[in-house]
Chains A and B, each alone.
Chain A
Amino acid sequence: MRALIIDDSRAMRSILVGILDEAGFDTVPVADAEEALALLDSDRNFELALVDWNLPAMSGLELVVALRKIPNLEDLRLMMVTTETELERVREALDSGADEYIMKPFDKEMLLEKLTLLGIDV
């Protein structure tokens, strides 16, 4: 399984990479939405994307909308990983095409539980 991780915080990227690596994923971490989209131009072989909300230029929410328009990527499971904790934000993310939502702070077990909810065996 391959996972794309989009987060502008180096520390957060390395935490997520650490957890997913251990769970048996191949991980590709990137720092912003533009980089993620550029990458997906040529490589759509991902089962999972973890998207931070607050990214430098294009927001995580805009990225989710963009990702959902990419052909041959319909099976990608999308989870927001964010410090945004307003109920309205969760609703917005789901309405925009995210499948799951996890609020920071979280621990490894919580993240893995969320993956189970996405139908991913860990």
Chain B
Amino acid sequence: MRASDLPAPQSAISPLAFDYIRRLVRKESSIVLDDGKTYLVTSRLGPLARECRFESVAAFISHLQSTSTGKLHTLAVEAIATTETSFFRDHHPFAALRDEILPEMVRRRSTSRTLSIWSAACSSGQEPHSIAMILRDRFANLEGWNLQLAASDISRRMTDRAREGLYTQLEVNRGLPAPYLVRFFEQTEDRWLLREDVRKLFRFFHQNLAEPWSVVAPVDILILRNVLIYFDVDMRREVLRRVRGLLRPDGYLLLGSAETTLNIDDLFTRVPVGRAVFYQVTPKKGQER
């Protein structure tokens, strides 16, 4: 539990109010809230309730209940999502991207000179921006390529932050190599701003994975980390099915370190790369990669 998840006094909500939020969140985002996550609802809706001038979370929820689904409901759902992330999260997957996956892809695409990467639950942007820094650092030869670099999240607050590229000291202290900090960031008072040429590499947009996807072109590297864990099995299966339709035959899927396609979708092959694990769509019999 994070300190910020501790409920403020007098923020109690009724089981009915909790149940309403749970259903709303499930319906709109596929995120499953387990029993006993009341503290999470109160702590995460608290700031939004205050911002919208409700006197309590309970009052906010009863307003939501009494109005038809609209902007406030969307904001509430986005506020519930766990958005924890960091630069180069878990290190090894990014080392594998840098040393194996990206060099391989660049080699394979040297004729078409197109490369497409989608970070599909990018939170405040550390994940795509880590890749952007790797590209700037190691792949300067992609000048003139058609790079389709996309990053999305259900939360517009998060994609706004990601686009802005402004981070706290605590955030740049986590997982980011100091040489990259020096090379790719500027300091602005108490914040750290990712340099524009890196910040602008990825295009950020809103995408709820539970709704139809706006990304339709085939993807070479799809990064879908630490988001499936919040969904129920049916939604995980549905998302992975769509991923299979979107990945190029030789493309790679990267999941979070605690996530797997195993027992959800058996049409993926697990591919260990360095000290990380990627997934590829299992080729149909007689089909070559």
Contact = CB atoms under 8 A, between A and B. Distances in A.
- Determine if chain A interacts with chain B: yes
Contacts of B86: 113
Contacts of A110: 173-174
B91 A117 contact: yes
- How large, as a class, is the contact surface on chain A? 10 to 19
A34 interface: no
B173 A94 contact: no
A43 interface: no
Interface stretch (A12-20, A25-33, A58-66, A82-90): A82-90
Name the prevailing secondary structure of the B interface residues.
Answer: mixed
Interface string B155-182: 0000000000000010001110111011
Interface residues of B, number: 16
Interface string B89-118: 001000000000000000000000000000
Interface string A98-122: 1111110010011001001100000
B259 interface: no
B268 interface: no
A106 B173 CA distance: 8
Given A90-B182, A94-B178, A94-B179, A103 B187 contact: no
A98 B178 CA distance: 10
A91 interface: yes
Contacts of B178: 90, 93-94, 98-101
A108 B215 CA distance: 39
A7 B186 CA distance: 28
A86 B182 contact: no
Given A113-B91, A117-B91, A87 B182 contact: yes
Given A87-B185, A117-B91, 20 more contacts: A85-B169, A87-B182, A87-B187, A87-B192, A90-B181, A94-B182, A98-B178, A99-B178, A100-B178, A101-B181, A102-B173, A103-B173, A110-B173, A113-B86, A113-B91, A113-B175, A116-B91, A117-B88, A117-B175, A117-B177
Interface of B: 86, 88, 91, 169, 173-175, 177-179, 181-182, 185-187, 192
Interface of A: 85-87, 90-91, 93-94, 98-103, 106, 109-110, 113, 116-117
